[in-house]
Amino acid sequence: MTVADLGSVTVGAAVPAGPALSAAVDASVGIAAPDVSAQVSAVASFSPSAMLSLTQLLDAANAVVANIQAAIVAGLTPPSLAAQAALGASVQVDLTAKLATLQAQLNLALGLDELFAQAGVRVLTFSGQQKDFGGELATALGPDATNANAVVLLTQSAAAWTAMQGVLKTS
């Protein structure tokens, strides 16, 4: 067999799985980020307090005392307002970290999109005897080729070649 010249393409066309992966990350971040952002806002607005009348406060206090007494008899420790506030702060820290992770993933995907758009990748494929590769490559590049940068991904099994065809332009 010989070297087949598939032409000059963008990085994304040479690695078609890349833009698809980047688009999937864009979509998933686009779905998740607003939800996490809304949760961060909701937790940030959480303020454990009671807006009741004096009578309602006294009734609530009596109910709380009765519940605390029952909890003590049962061996339970009632939650404190400080514990609730600490839990809210902990949830906010967790959600803020998740939102930062989503933003980092989006930034990575956007950076990859720029790389995938870069043109000037000449795609050459070869199938044949290993000993013929160098000569066939030199012939395909032609006598005027003075400088080249190359990455050679060599497979020697049908399974590996099939996998490469799933992520790289090979035809």
User: What interhelical angle do 158-167 and 17-44 show, nearest 10?
Assistant: 60
Per-residue model confidence (pLDDT) at position 21? 84
The string of DSSP letters for 39-59 reads HHHHHHT--------HHHHHH
> Residue 147 belongs to what domain range?
3-167
Per-residue model confidence (pLDDT) at position 48? 63
Total domain count for the chain? 1
Amino acid symbol at 2: T
- Spatial CA neighbour of 170 closest among 13, 45, 2, 42: 13
Per-residue model confidence (pLDDT) at position 50? 57
The answer to whether the CB of 25 falls within 8 A of the CB of 109 is: yes
Tell me the pLDDT of the chain (171 aa) as tens digits: 578 888 888 888 888 888 888 888 888 888 888 888 888 787 777 766 657 777 887 888 888 888 878 888 888 776 677 777 788 788 888 888 888 888 888 888 888 888 888 888 888 888 888 888 888 888 888 888 777 777 777 777 888 888 888 888 888
Instruction: Considering only CA atoms, give the Rg of the chain.
Output: 31
117 Cβ neighbours under 8 A, 6+ residues apart: 10, 11, 12
